[in-house]
Structure 1
């Protein structure tokens, strides 16, 4: 399982909810899913200067499926339509392959 922990600075909660709704079927088609999802009210320690108000995990069967998902033309359209207007900044907190030894 390949998993990422991501922090966002969401500026439009409704627009971001529309993004999640539109992209979830595409994510599922690649075996992907969300594990955890938090709205954050206070960040006590951060490695970046940009604010973070949403943290989630997203997982895939493997890194190849993750790459295919993010390159999928339908996903790219959804991202351009909803994500770009509703998220000010993305912080990649961690990436890991839980099956790696």
Structure 2
């Protein structure tokens, strides 16, 4: 199942958009957070901005296209960690950091 979403979905409070290269450094940094390491699906032991960019173009793009992966990126103006959610049937190995609060 493929789920085609617009580049940005927004109301006046939350914007949901595709993960982009500009998110790579923050995403990689977020994977060092203790709560992220504890609760997220992180198949790779160490992430760099470059490895995240490769995943954005590879396994993340594949999972989004196939409809078995959702990756949410925070607004660049918000100091939060990127969050992700996987469908139960997902087999992608993309990192899945979550904020400690949710």
- TM-score in terms of structure 2 length: 0.35
Point out which structure has higher relative CO (alpha carbons under 8 A, 6+ apart): 1
Q: Which one has a larger percent helix, Structure 1 or Structure 2?
A: 1
- TM-score in terms of structure 1 length: 0.35
Q: Which one has a larger percent strand, Structure 1 or Structure 2?
A: 1
